[in-house]
Every structure is written in C-alpha cells, then in structure tokens.
Amino acid sequence: MQLSPNQLQTHLQKGLKSLYTLHGDEPLLIQEAADAIRAVARSQGFTERSSHTVSGTRFDWSAVLAAGGSMSLFSEKQLLELRIPSGKPGKEGAQAVTELAQRSRGADDTLTLILLPRLDRTTQSSAWFGALDSLGVTLQVESVGRNALPQWIAQRLSAQGQRVLAGEEGQRTLQFFADRVEGNLLAAHQEIQKLALLFAPGELGFEQVESAVLNVARYDVFKLSEAVLAGQSRRVARMLEGLQAEGEAEVLVHYTLSEDIRALKRVKDAVGAGRPLPLALREQRVWGAKERLFERVLPRLSDATLAQWLQAAHQVDGIIKGLKRADWPLDNWQALQRLALLVCRECQLQPTAPRGRQAALSHERMKA
C-alpha cells in the first residue's frame, strides 16, 4: 500500500499496520512521519523499541532478524526500526529485508519501521523493495519545491495560529521567508516555531518576520540546475552568489550546468532519430522534477541553440582552468553566471499560444 504524507494521519486513525517503509530526501518530513507512527504505536502498547542503522559491508543482519523474531522481556509489543542511509542493503541485506517483510504478515506484536533515503527507479523496482511495498505501507516523502515553499510556510504558520497579512504584503512576507530558508526545510521549521515564541497568535507583519527570521539558506548545486531549467533568473543569480559565499567548487557548478546541456543535446538527438521522448529521457537517466523540466524546454530548443550552449560551456571550462577567453569575464563566478543565465533566459516560460498552434509549434521545434 502506498500513501502520501498528507494521507498518513487519516490512515493511522484507522489502525496500525505491522510494516511501514519511509523513503525520501527531506529529513524533517521523514522525521515527522516517523514520529507520528511512533506516537500511535506507543499509545497501542508498543513500548519497547530497538533501533539498527546499516553501516559498512560487515553489518550484522542476523542481529536485526533476531530482534524482529524475539519476544520482549518487558513488553508484549515492540517497535523495530531499521535505517539504511545508503538505500543499498546489499545482497545479504536484501534477503534480510525481504524476510522482515514476510515476517510482518500477521505479526501483531512487532511493528517494523524502515527508513530509507530517496530511491531511484532501479532500487524501487528491486525485489526487496517490492516485498516492502506489497506487504506493508510505503510512504514516499517528496521535497517541498521552491514554488510551493511560501504556501508550505503559510500552512505551518496557520497550524500554530499565525498568519501573514492578506494580499500583496502577505505574499511579499512569505517570499522573503522562503528566500531566507531556501533548501533548508528543517531551518524553516525552526524559524516558524521561533515566531510562535516571539509573537502572539494572529497576523504577522513583514517587519516582524524580517526581524526574526535568520538567513539560513542552504544552496544546493543540483537545485541550481533545476532553477536554470525552470528559467528562474533572479533565483539563479541569488543561488550562485550563495554557492560562491559557501565556498562551493566552481568546477562542480560548471559540471552540473554543462552536464544538463549535454543531456538536452543527447535527448534531442535521440528524439530526432525517432526515439520516443519518455524512452530517451530514461536512457539519459533524467527523472523526477528534471524530467518534467526537460519535457517543457526541449520543444523550443534548436540545434543551433544547443550548439551555442555547448560552445559556451567549453569556453567557461577553459576560464575555470585559467585560460582567458575573448568576450568572456575573467572571474570564474561571473563566467558561470553568464553561462547559467544564457540557458536560463531560453528556458523562461513563454506566452501560451492557442492549443492547436502551440502543438504545431512544438512539433516543428522538436524536428528542427
């Protein structure tokens, strides 16, 4: 059984299952989901808890199986937690996890909770994960996207009896808050809790939020990639400044940008050769949010545009390695910003054409 995080509370009110698997790359949301399951488990008599974290190739899986199969000395019910930070249990671990899943059927005295990072499609198609999914409850925790972050903040404020002002002023406050905590949901949660301590329930003005919320943004080079493909110029410029201030390696930023350009070129060439777009994307390992961005951007890109981007990426590579390039900034970060914005401008949303005309244009551009 698969659930979304929003369905978890309703599910738990109907009764606990004996096996839960949580996977995703947002620690705060994983922690909250696990805490909700633990709280209901405690209320139903699962008072003993054993926790195991898989580390290294010599991890003792027999200890996990023994814990799952043993009766508690102090409680009639026990909670068994297993963390696999890498998301790769290995051959022995895959067998052990499958056995745990099979044991969970009808095991009213043991509740098994398995915590995993974000999993790729290959891992989700594995036999061991299939056993967890078919025999228990699986919860995939997605990150909160940048565009959804202001609304997420507003919902969290509402839960503690606070809200921003209505209209444009309130939206400006939420955008400011989102900018300050970008990429760091745990920090956003902490800052929201701090507002509850500092101010009474009710409306919060921009000045109150500005004075309380720290600059706790954590910039991620892979989120930069998504912002570029989404055409978010201002956000891209801000993220590049943040990455530079945090000491990120220029070569990693360049690699991320240039790899996206190369992937766009390879997918377009594959489609031009007759490959279906979904298949071409899978072959280039383009998934998730980036898959949707590629699908939106590719129809408008010509071979000439992609060739220009590849040449620009090559020139910036030389600049980072100490070579001067005509008509390019000498500073590495300025060159990276120019490359990023070159791609970003082309990826910006265009005015929507009538549906029939838009489909015809998309077909013509993909053939270009």
Q: 206-234: per-residue pLDDT in tens?
A: 999 988 887 676 778 888 888 999 999 98
- What type of residue is 179? D
Q: What predicted TM-score, i.e. pTM, was given to this entire model?
A: 0.64
Q: Cα–Cα distance between 131 and 109 in angstroms, integer?
A: 20
Q: 330-358: per-residue pLDDT in tens?
A: 899 999 999 999 999 998 865 444 444 44
The enclosing domain of 274 has a CATH number of: 1.20.272.10
Which regions in the chain score pLDDT beneath 70?
A: 68-75, 183, 215, 217, 349-368
What's residue 117's pLDDT?
Answer: 92
Q: Which pair of structure tokens corresponds to residue 283?
A: 């072959």
Domain range for 87: 2-141
In a shared domain, residues 77 and 178: no
- Exposed / middle / buried, residue 17 (Cβ in 10 Å: 0-12, 13-18, 19+): middle
Rg (CA), the chain: 24
What's residue 6's pLDDT?
Answer: 83
Report yes or no: 20 and 137 within 8 Å, Cβ to Cβ: yes
How many domains would you assign to the chain?
3
In a shared domain, residues 21 and 73: yes
Report yes or no: 39 and 79 within 8 Å, Cβ to Cβ: no
In a shared domain, residues 54 and 117: yes
The secondary structure of residue 49, as a DSSP letter, is: E
In a shared domain, residues 49 and 72: yes
The enclosing domain of 8 has a CATH number of: 3.40.50.300
Q: 106-125: per-residue pLDDT in tens?
A: 778 889 999 999 888 889 99
What's residue 116's pLDDT?
Answer: 94
In a shared domain, residues 189 and 288: no
The enclosing domain of 176 has a CATH number of: 1.10.8.60
